[in-house]
Structure 1
Amino acid sequence: MPTVTRFAPSPTGYIHVGNLRTALMNFLIARKAGGTFILRLDDTDQERSKQEYIDGLFADLEWLGLHYDRVEQQSKRMDRYAEAAGQLRAAGRFYECFESPVELDLKRKKLLNMGRPPVYDRASLTLTEDQKAAYRAEGREGYWRFRLDLERIEWADGIIGDISIDAASVSDPVLIKADGQVLYTFASSVDDVDMGVTHIVRGADHVTNTATQIQIMKALGGTPPTFAHHSLLTGAKGEELSKRLGVLSLRDLRARGVEPMALLSLMARLGSSKPVELASSMQELIDGFDVGSFGAAPTKFDAEDLFPLTRSHVQGLPFATVQARIAALGVPADKAEAFWAVAKGNITVLADLEGWWHLFRDGAEPLVEESDRDFVRQALTLLPAQPWTTATWGEWTGAVKAATGRKGKDLFMPLRKALTGRANGPEMADVLPLLQKLPVI
């Protein structure tokens, strides 16, 4: 059977690193098997689903290079969900309920106070048509639950291992709300059956959903896919990450200069038994992916870990890849390649290039100790006229040494700081030919 996976975000916000982990795992499984990767918009919540989030999702996946084979949209499949609901009603697996949220809350609290699990008591399962009509006459709208078979639900999870859940410990899930909204648990089950999904990787917070969805899929005549539930991300110190995911959206990481391959390389290995290494290509990630190498324990994520990987990726880029960006800074074409050769070893993100070109073009704010001021002024009088070459630095410092008697660090450091405004950086022999202005001391 061909491998089919899916990434099914709800477009109610911009996707973040937690969403990416799910998307990437499903993408890599499909590509490694030569299968199909579906992007499905789980947008049955029409109030919270926004077009701007859909547009942002497409932009994020394009930026990352996670190319999908087709797009599906739940909001366009409402007739199919109505048909599936009819099938479940006919099979006696769907029943209408009328309890208010307040009444349900009171039931839960009563059970908890008795030391029992807050499982729905199926009171609505035995309602007569007259009782239902009376509720409607009161102005209540019915909502629909799926009647679980009270047996153990078992599956071999691709990450957690063998799982067994007693359906009697789980409430019959609400699948359609009183306002007619089809909920995730139902729509996803219908879609996964209809679309032939064979493998699903998602967060460990969906384990209970999986148990109920397995029964729903079987009730619809489908075969449940292979499931794997990855661990949830925490902050660098083990703190809950969910409250910070808003600042870990992919669009924000992109704005900070994180490179796609750095982000993909981290997320393809984070929480697995394999070391995090910068991949050179998407194919390398595909070939090296193994969902079974991931553990079930909470996984620490620190956005700062993305920047060493980004630095390594950026510094390995060929000139041709950055040529247009460098030209956009205003770097003359005859100096562009030399500029890249000098700057690339001293940047973390590509946006750092602008600062270096500003320094070369406009000159730096000189950093000169008072005790070195006369020395630097004298040295600048000995600097040959432009144009400067890579040989100029050696020739100049040789002349300064002969004139002043200074040598070593006492010679080179004051000149570096005066010309660049910083105590470290590229080789000065390479910097000097790019400098457009000298400092005023």
Structure 2
Amino acid sequence: MTITRFAPSPTGYIHVGNLRTALMNYLIARKAGGQFILRLDDTDPERSKQEYADAIQQDLEWLGLTWDRLEKQSDRLERYEAAAQELRDMGRFYEAFETPTELDLKRKKQLNMGKPPVYDRAALNLSEDEKAKLRAERGNGVWRFKLDHERIEWTDGILGDLSIDAASVSDPVLIRGDGQFLYTLASVCDDVDYGVTHVVRGSDHVTNTATQIQIIRALGGTVPEFAHHSLLTGSQGEALSKRLGTLALRDLREAGVQPAALLSLMARLGSSQPVELVGSLDELAEGFDINSFGSAPTKFDADDLYPLTARYLGGLTVADVGAELDALGVPADEAEAFWTVARENITTLKDLGAWWELCQSGADPLVADEDADFIAEAMTLLPDGPYDASSWGDWTSAVKAATGRKGKGLFMPLRKAVTGMERGPDMSALMPLLKVIRAKG
């Protein structure tokens, strides 16, 4: 069975970069009829917050990304300790005591000598007495996994065949001095125990994947199929990392972005397939192909979400937006006509309020100086409401006969005077909804 996972840390709100990872893993599982696991990487007790854990689940539910299992790393600390002891017993785990300053000096010395700045494994030469003395002086050390110095090779689902020389990588720290288990060990244990078959994550994890492959094999697990997607950049190719805080899913939701728009864009962005508005997650899953994604940095522009949102809204029925219309106070007998007019002229549902305000209270006339006399005369020919589907045609015909104006010179000034806008819906459909036309006086 295909099993994937999305593993956010509940230390903040998830953003579009997180969503890309979540969605790819979700679609792979759903396309194969497999399982999608939501795993909260909450081993950091100081930074992990329940409010963020709740928010992650709320954001995924808003998008329809349902999970088959919810797991928390904080519930599995005994399992991680058992794995650590297993690594110690096989001679693949050792304690090291260097301070950050000492490590930095070592790296600089290696770079000056033209060598890769990797940990020199000096801790392996410490005697038990020396370790005891260092613990007494500095406290507990960190625990490093001893890599086999060989080439680590795998075929990546996006990047193709990869090969990393383990000798060019420092032995990874898996347990901090304060006893906190780090992501690398905890994630490996979880992937092994849960039978995860496919892991999709950002390309910044490639080196991490190499070390994890060795840890998985040391613990007797089966190595999943890995794929590393490109990282998102801004629309001009700039780093997006500093802006991700403004691209949280809940902020996009508040701005009126619809789930279908966000999912449709993120499921295709960076792939060879065109972005198309897709109506359901099942349809997205059916057409999803991880191999169609490229390795180049992927440009993301939040503005691209709004045309997709507008297109999605244009396909909704009045029943789909009943709650929003009720909230505005749109009467049931006017809802169908109002939605038919409004849906083709809004970008998000937030725009509905302005259109209902126009219908109820009218708009400030937009009248050019050269059209002032024309509008004044035209308004004397406009009868009092209520208006119907023939009102616009009857009125413009009367104005044309009285003034001789026609075409754009006739219709545009009248539209601007009535709606305060240069563009908008078919005026024959809008007029019956207008309770007030301010230009009439």
Q: TM-score, normalization: structure 1?
A: 0.98
Aligned to 1:379: 378
Question: C-alpha displacement at 1:319, in angstroms?
Answer: 1.6
> How far, CA to CA, are the matches of 2:108 and 2:139 in structure 1?
22
Q: Which residue of 1 aligns with 2:128?
A: 129
Rounded to whole Å, the distance in 2 between the matches of 1:288 and 1:339 is 36
Count of matched residue pairs: 440
SS in 1 for 2:270: coil
Conserved 8 A contact 2:97-2:138? no
1:307: how far off?
1.2
Q: Which stretch of the first structure deviates more once superposed, 2-11 or 246-255?
A: 246-255
Quote how far apart the aligned CAs of 1:66 are: 0.5
Write the letter of the residue equivalent to 2:356: W
1:300 is aligned with what amino acid? K
Structure 1 residue aligned with 2:235: 236
* Conservation of the 8 A alpha-carbon contact between 2:31 and 2:286: yes
Cα drift, residue 142 of structure 1: 1.5
What's the CA shift for 1:303?
Answer: 1.0
Partner of residue 211, structure 1: 210
- Name the residue aligned to 1:328: 327
Corresponding letter in the other structure for 2:413: P
Q: Distance in 2 between matches of 1:161 and 1:170?
A: 21
- Partner amino acid for 1:69? D
Equivalents in 2 of 1:409, 1:242: separation in Å? 48
The whole-number CA distance in structure 2 between the counterparts of 1:306 and 1:52 is 27
Structure 1 residue 324 displacement after superposition: 1.7
Whether the 8 Å contact between 2:385 and 2:435 is mirrored in structure 1 is: no
Q: Equivalents in 1 of 2:346, 2:416: separation in Å?
A: 18
- Partners of 1:406 and 1:265 lie apart in 2 by 47
Aligned residue number for residue 289 of structure 2: 290
Superposed, 1:42-81 pairs within 5 Å as 42-81=41-80
- Where in structure 2 are the equivalents of 1:282-361 lying within 5 Å? 282-361=281-360
Read off the aligned partner of 1:373 and give its amino acid letter: A
Alpha-carbon separation, structure 2, partners of 1:389 and 1:314? 26
Letter in structure 1 aligned against 2:340: A
* TM-fit CA distance, 1:140: 2.8
Look up the equivalent residue of 1:374 and give its one-letter code.
D
Larger CA deviation: 405-414 vs 147-156: 405-414
Give identity over the alignment, percent.
69
Q: Counterpart in 1 of 2:30?
A: 31
The whole-number CA distance in structure 2 between the counterparts of 1:96 and 1:232 is: 34
Q: Which residue of 1 aligns with 2:364?
A: 365
User: Are 1:398 and 2:378 an aligned pair?
Assistant: no
How far residue 12 of structure 1 moved from its aligned partner, in angstroms, is: 1.3
Q: Which runs of 4+ in 1 moved over 6 A?
A: none
- Residue number in structure 2 paired with 1:22: 21
Secondary structure of the 1:278 match is coil
Contact 2:386–2:435 (CA under 8 A) maintained in structure 1:
no
Look up the match of 1:3.
2
Counterpart of 2:387? Answer: 388
* Distance in 2 between residues matched to 1:217 and 1:6, nearest whole Å: 16
Letter in 2 for 1:139: R
Partner of residue 107, structure 2: 108
Q: State how far apart, in whole Å, the 1-side matches of 2:157 and 2:296 are.
A: 14
3-state DSSP class of the match of 2:338? helix
Unaligned runs of at least 5 residues, structure 1? none
The equivalent residue for 1:182 is: 181
- Describe the superposition over 1:48-83 as per-residue Cα deviations: whole angstroms up to 9, x where unpaired: 111221121111101111001110000111111111
Q: Which position in structure 1 is the counterpart of 2:198?
A: 199
Once the two structures are TM-superposed, the CA of residue 402 in structure 1 deviates from its matched residue by 2.3
Please list the CA deviations of residues 289-310 of structure 1 after superposition, one character each: whole Å capped at 9, or x if unmatched: 0001111111111111111111
Select between 332-341 and 134-143 the one with higher mean Cα deviation: 134-143
1:288: how far off?
0.2
CA offset digits 1:380-413 (Å, max 9, x no partner): 2322332211111111222222233332222222
* Structure 2: runs of 5+ lacking an equivalent: none
Alpha-carbon distance between aligned partners in 2 of 1:312 and 1:105, rounded to the nearest angstrom: 54
Q: In structure 1, what is the equivalent of residue 254 of structure 2?
A: 255
Residue type at the aligned position of 2:364: E
- Alpha carbons 2:232, 2:297 under 8 Å: kept: yes
SS in 2 for 1:37: strand
Shift of 1:378: 2.7
**Paired residue for 1:274?**
273
SS of the residue aligned with 2:138? coil
Contact 2:2 2:29 in 1 (8 A): yes
Cα shift readout 1:319-352 (whole Å, capped 9, x = no counterpart): 2101221121111211111011111111111111
Task: Report the 3-state secondary structure (helix = DSSP H, G, I; strand = E; otherwise coil) of the residue aligned with 2:22.
Answer: helix
Matched with 2:140 is 141
**For 2:369 and 2:266, how far apart are their aligned partners in 1?**
50
Aligned counterparts of 2:242 and 2:302: Cα–Cα separation in 1: 15
Query: CA separation in 1, counterparts of 2:400 and 2:225?
Result: 73
- Per-residue deviation, residues 192-220 of structure 1 (Å, max 9, x unmatched): 00110000000000001100001111111
Tell me the equivalent position of 1:226.
225
Residue identity matched to 1:219: A
Distance, in Å, in 1 between the alignment partners of 2:242 and 2:214 is 32
SS of residue in 2 equivalent to 1:84: helix
**Deviation for aligned residue 1:436:** 1.0
Amino acid at match of 2:216: M
Offset of residue 433 of structure 1: 0.4
Q: How far apart in 2 are the matches of 1:262 and 1:292?
A: 22
Give the whole-Å Cα distance in 1 for the aligned partners of 2:141 and 2:413: 81
Letter in 2 for 1:19: N
Q: 2: CA distance between counterparts of 1:391 and 1:205?
A: 63
CA RMSD of aligned residues (A): 1.2
Distance in 2, Cα, partners of 1:262 & 1:107? 50
For residue 139 of structure 1, report the CA deviation from its aligned partner: 3.4
Deviation of residue 419 (structure 1)? 0.7
